[in-house]
Structure 1
């Protein structure tokens, strides 16, 4: 099916969604994927017919073996990439995980090597800069009442004409 001129100009970004989980000390849960050389939050790509929230819940269940109700949307990050294409990334608040839920964590075999709760400094050390910025912006958004909109984890510049 051929695209008309208008459709050809429309963006077709990939969408991904993840969850931010915390411990009692306020540190963030991050996972060590087998297929990346940096740490990440639990999450992944949104599948056809799935909402970003449904994708985040599914990915948490797949990667950590736990089923949790996620809280509010914290951030929607626009992240264009020359190598992977444009992305829209949704981050949801998973809240503080109880010891009972943590005891039920079962890592996805072949995809997740481990998980740890990390301080902000450790997040920056173990992750890539754009992801660390996105995470820190979303953590800051927890104290606000509305989601934030970063671009590559940064506040967009004024684009008024």
Structure 2
């Protein structure tokens, strides 16, 4: 079979984000300068880069934090009308110490502020499917599982 005879294949955009929780179980959310809603820290995976490596890189670029990223909590199939097919990964980033919180710096200008948000208030900060994805990640972290989701709905 030649390349011209191959059936079309998905070429999704891939992004990776970090789930940081505080001692009360609230989620670290960031306000991107280019979006009208809050998100978790993270971003798109670059060619040749693994989702986990992208997550580590984004934490340093966006927050100025060198932090280890733990296990994958969620992978979400979440195509978007204006962006096409997407695979979104969330990794466990643990709990920030007070010193790490104080060290957060918005180095690349993509973010304007951060805050902790209770999981039951996520919809007031972003789209419902993002809230579902973050909640699925929080549950996966608590139970020690890994979750597959579609549009933020764990399956």
> Same fold by TM (over 0.5)?
yes
Q: Which runs of 5+ in 1 are unaligned?
A: 157-161
Match in the other structure for 2:5: 5
TM-score normalised by structure 2 residue count: 0.94
Match in the other structure for 1:50: 49
Distance 1:71 1:131, change over 3 A: same
Q: Kindly provide the CA deviation profile for residues 61-113 of structure 1, in whole angstroms up to 9, marking residues without a partner as x.
A: 11100010011100000011221010000000001111111121101353111
Q: Measure the CA separation in 1 of the matches of 2:108 and 2:11.
A: 31
Q: Which runs of 5+ in 2 are unaligned?
A: none
SS of equivalent to 2:134: helix
Q: Measure the CA separation in 1 of the matches of 2:35 and 2:103.
A: 24
Match in the other structure for 2:59: 60
Match in the other structure for 1:94: 93
Q: Measure the CA separation in 1 of the matches of 2:144 and 2:24.
A: 22
Matches within 5 A, 1:112-123: 112-123=111-122
Q: Measure the CA separation in 2 of the matches of 1:69 and 1:101.
A: 12
SS of equivalent to 1:37: coil
Q: Kindly provide the CA deviation profile for residues 16-67 of structure 1, in whole angstroms up to 9, marking residues without a partner as x.
A: 0000001111111000011000000000000011000000011111110001
Match in the other structure for 2:144: 145
Distance 1:68 1:48, change over 3 A: same
Q: Measure the CA separation in 2 of the matches of 1:102 and 1:4.
A: 52
SS of equivalent to 1:142: helix
Distance 1:15 1:109, change over 3 A: closer
Q: Kindly provide the CA deviation profile for residues 111-151 of structure 1, in whole angstroms up to 9, marking residues without a partner as x.
A: 11100011113311111111111111111111233310010
